């Protein structure tokens, strides 16, 4: 294959390597490749299908139940739809079925991926250097689907002697524009080129690329592991239902925040999630007052503190007890952002019956609570910490006056919002069965 019309243009060749025998457990892949008289030269890149690496390393296991084998290789389920699972496997790769393959292997068995594909690539590279005296790069490949794109392609899961990523950031393009985000996945491009000539069923598990010696020369020994995006940088780490469960798990009461400002847009997105909660009579019983200025927050909290102190003194609390209880409200004062969710009864029914009118209000309170829960979970999804504090419910008239709210708005506490300082302690496990009664 040529990438240019003339000898002077950049070009490369890629061809499948014929003559590879059936690979068995314990085979030395470097020796098998060398025995085909491949004519390798310094700077070539060898593309080796992971299946033969797995076979040579004895990664064939008896497994009548492929699903059980997938379970054993799975570290984390990313997304699930029916029987299809996208998971993170033991190698840190996110892929379908953990890479467990039931094709090209005897019935009743499955192939697992190599335990350490980078180490496998290094072993083949060192073996070829010893057998043939050549300095080549080696890429171990496997077939992946891709988010947002139909079809499969080969990618690199292991590499040795190859520059797996070409970081162009800091340079400029042909028009002089700065490159600030361009990191080329060189090893994946090589894997895809090899797949075009190896094929999926042609019995040609090895390919050679020649003419791209610059990706071999001075290549760091970082391996293909460097291509796996770390969790902190992965914007699409979870599938839909898994993301909801993870957000629920992340929803913790956070009492200490950093000084990093809160993105108002993130809070508004959380409000948009809040108002999708169910409500009676097709009503919208939620209102959110967002206190984005320090002046507004201090004015409200000072007024609430004064009202609280007055209440505590009327209850006969001593000054030490009053001071201790007031300090508990510091979580609101220390937060860089506050939200005050409110309940409105617009659209509610009046029955003239105390029992039914009480039940009507309770329905609206439940709906408002569902909205607040949506709000807290959505904040967690935005990687924002929060603490729902009930203080405003004890001085609603004060809150309405300070925030200039209608008399029909009932504050339902205040939500402190900010970036968590540190990691909250692990939540104590709860047995869901202890909260369930079945009839």
Residue 1 has pLDDT above 70, yes or no: no
Q: Residue 39 and residue 30: Cα distance in Å, rounded?
A: 13
The pLDDT, as a whole number, for residue 34 is: 96
- Residue 80 · residue 241 · CB < 8 Å: yes
Residue 216 has pLDDT above 70, yes or no: yes
Q: Residue 301 and residue 294: Cα distance in Å, rounded?
A: 10
Q: Do 13-59+114-233 and 246-435 have matching folds?
A: no
Q: Residue 369 and residue 285: Cα distance in Å, rounded?
A: 10
Domain locations in the chain as residue ranges: 13-59+114-233, 246-435
Q: Residue 95 and residue 77: Cα distance in Å, rounded?
A: 10
Helix, strand, coil fractions of the chain, as percent rounded to 5: 40, 20, 40
Q: What is the pLDDT of residues 290-340, one digit of tens each?
A: 999 999 999 999 998 888 888 888 888 888 888 877 776 678 888 999 999
Q: What is the pLDDT of residues 67-99, one digit of tens each?
A: 889 999 999 888 887 778 899 999 999 999 999
Residue 3 has pLDDT above 80, yes or no: no
- CATH entry, 13-59+114-233, from 3.40.50.2300, 1.10.3720.10, 3.90.79.10, 3.30.1330.100: 3.30.1330.100
The pLDDT, as a whole number, for residue 144 is: 92
Please compute, for residue 123, the number of CA atoms within 13 A of its CA located in the half-sphere on the CB side: 16
Its CATH class, for the domain covering 246-435, is alpha beta
Q: What is the pTM of this model?
A: 0.66
Lowest mean pLDDT among 88-92, 205-209, 276-280, 390-394: 390-394
The pLDDT, as a whole number, for residue 169 is: 81
CA 328 → CA 78, 296, 322, 331, 391, distances in Å? 39, 20, 10, 7, 10
The pLDDT, as a whole number, for residue 7 is: 58
Go through 343-353 and write b for each residue having 16 or more CB atoms within 10 A of its CB, e for each that does not.
bbbeebeeeee
Residue 199 has pLDDT above 90, yes or no: no
């Amino acid at each position: 294959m040529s990438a240019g019309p003339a000898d002077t243009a950049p070009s490369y060749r890629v061809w499948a390597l014929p003559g590879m025998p059936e690979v068995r457990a314990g085979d030395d892949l470097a020796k098998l490749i060398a025995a085909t008289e491949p004519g390798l030269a310094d700077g070539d890149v060898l593309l080796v299908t992971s299946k033969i690496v797995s076979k040579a390393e004895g990664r064939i296991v008896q497994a009548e139940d492929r699903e059980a084998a997938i379970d054993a290789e799975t570290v984390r389920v990313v997304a699930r739809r029916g029987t299809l699972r996208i998971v993170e496997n033991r190698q840190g790769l996110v892929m379908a079925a953990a890479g467990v393959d039931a094709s090209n292997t005897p019935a009743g068995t499955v192939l697992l991926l190599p335990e350490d594909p980078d180490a496998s690539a290094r072993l083949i590279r060192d073996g070829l250097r010893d057998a043939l005296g050549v300095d080549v790069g080696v890429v171990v490949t496997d077939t992946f689907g891709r988010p947002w794109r139909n079809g499969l392609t080969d990618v690199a899961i292991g590499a040795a002697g190859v520059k797996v990523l070409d970081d162009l950031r800091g340079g400029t393009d042909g028009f002089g524009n700065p490159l600030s985000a361009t990191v080329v996945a060189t090893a994946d491009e090589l894997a895809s080129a090899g797949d075009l000539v190896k094929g999926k069923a042609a019995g040609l598990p090895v390919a050679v690329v020649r003419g791209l010696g610059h990706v071999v020369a001075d290549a760091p020994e970082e391996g293909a592991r460097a291509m796996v995006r770390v969790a902190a940088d992965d914007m699409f780490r979870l599938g839909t239902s898994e993301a909801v469960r993870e957000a629920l798990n992340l929803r913790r009461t956070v009492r200490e925040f950093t000084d990093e400002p809160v993105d108002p847009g993130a809070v508004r997105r959380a409000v948009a999630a809040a108002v999708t909660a169910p409500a009676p009579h097709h009503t919208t019983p939620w209102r959110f007052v967002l206190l984005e200025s320090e002046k507004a927050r201090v004015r409200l909290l000072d007024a609430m503190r004064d009202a609280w102190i007055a209440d505590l003194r009327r209850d006969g609390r001593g000054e030490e007890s009053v001071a201790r209880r007031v300090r508990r409200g510091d979580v609101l004062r220390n937060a860089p952002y506050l939200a005050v969710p409110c309940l409105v009864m617009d659209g509610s029914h009046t029955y003239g019956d105390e029992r039914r009118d009480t039940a009507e209000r309770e329905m609206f309170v439940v709906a408002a609570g569902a909205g607040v829960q949506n709000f807290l979970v959505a904040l967690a999804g935005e990687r924002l910490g929060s603490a729902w504090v009930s203080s405003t419910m004890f001085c609603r008239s004060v809150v309405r006056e300070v925030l200039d709210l209608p008399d029909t708005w009932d504050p339902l506490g205040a939500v402190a919002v900010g970036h968590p300082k540190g990691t909250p302690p692990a939540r104590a496990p709860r047995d869901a069965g202890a909260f369930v009664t079945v009839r």
